[in-house]
Chain A
């Protein structure tokens, strides 16, 4: 029951959670980037542009080394500040709980994990540490077994904190990317799921071979 207390972040899933989830999904997906008035909720559109000094932005042209690195780093600050502010707001409205409701029923077919992994899974999207701590707790409470834990950790380990990391660590590439950030996130999550399945099926096969060996040993 300690587990319950830990996982409920004083939020309940309400219509606000669903609405904020739908909002953030549309905003990051980039589908509304050219949709007239609706483009007002597109993430890339809202980041906006820097003004020009002459033909260039304030970073100028032809810089190299640490000084150029610093200037480029500065240009990323508005993106990261806006993204993390936005993620924080939708998180507080319960968007993660809406995501949890969506993933819970498909966890078993997708990665062979019980539905109880839903909340740690969506938590791991914004925090490596919360995901890892909850996973350990679930094992200690007997809610997942050793193999399920390894499968689940393989999912969490790659790009750990995938949403936050794509926006803060990936900030330099956000402006360059030819794909909307929603597609980049989708690619990351898809390969994370494939990676978890590699562990899932490897461990399942290992178990088969072990039991075969013990059967043969028994005959001999």
Chain B
């Protein structure tokens, strides 16, 4: 999402102008990516709760999520992240807001939602654009998911090492 490529074309800005430009981009990103993601995440969670699907999904997956110190419901954040990073993080924040997960569990989910987020969209922008050998594609597409699993272990270890509870 950088605007670095445009920076080369335009005349040099002062530091204040750079800051204003970046902050303005931040505002647009908020309007274009974050708020829509928050709305879909909140509506999705509300839907899953009212229908009772949340409890069902949570129960089925809870033994797996327990490995990372997370309740089963946390899988919803990871599934949303698969489609869009912002939706994954927003879903985790929603789960925190309604008390399904605590702050430590939200922290464990944080790097994972970013690492494995927007997998399909970025496959084109990153893997295809760079012209990677198609034979390596299946392996490369698995890497962000492996990374996300590792990040949950690592974050959990850091939190317990720092003695935060």
Contacts and interface: CB of A to CB of B under 8 A. Distances in A.
A114 interface: no
Contacts of B89: 169-173
Contacts of B164: 178-179
B64 interface: no
Interface residues of B, number: 83
Interface in B88-141: 88-90, 92-94, 96-97, 103-104, 106-107, 109-111, 113-118, 122-123, 125-127, 129-133, 136, 139-140
A199 B140 contact: yes
B1 interface: yes
Interface string B2-26: 1111011000110100111111111
Interface stretch (A45-53, A100-108, A182-190, A211-219): A182-190
B15 A191 contact: no
B48 interface: no
Given A84-B26, A166-B114, A172-B93, A130 B5 contact: yes
Q: Which of A156, A179, A198 has the most CB of B within 10 A?
A: A179
A39 to B, nearest CB: 19
A9 B1 contact: no
Contact of B158 (A85, A168, A170, A179): A179
Interface string A149-178: 110111011111110111011111100111
A150 B134 CA distance: 10
B18 A88 contact: yes
A89 B15 contact: yes
Contacts of B7: 9-10, 92
B130 A153 contact: yes
A136 to B, nearest CB: 5
A118 to B, nearest CB: 16
A65 B97 CA distance: 12
B78 interface: no
Residues of A in contact with B, size category: 35 or more
A133 B136 CA distance: 18
A218 B37 CA distance: 58
Q: Which of A81, A84, A149, A202 has the most CB of B within 10 A?
A: A84
Interface stretch (B54-62, B66-74, B147-155): B147-155
B35 A179 contact: no
Interface string A116-157: 000000010011111111011001000000100110111011
B2 A161 contact: yes
Contact of B43 (A66, A152, A192): A66
B154 A173 contact: no
6 contacts: A123-B4, A135-B130, A168-B30, A169-B88, A169-B89, A172-B93
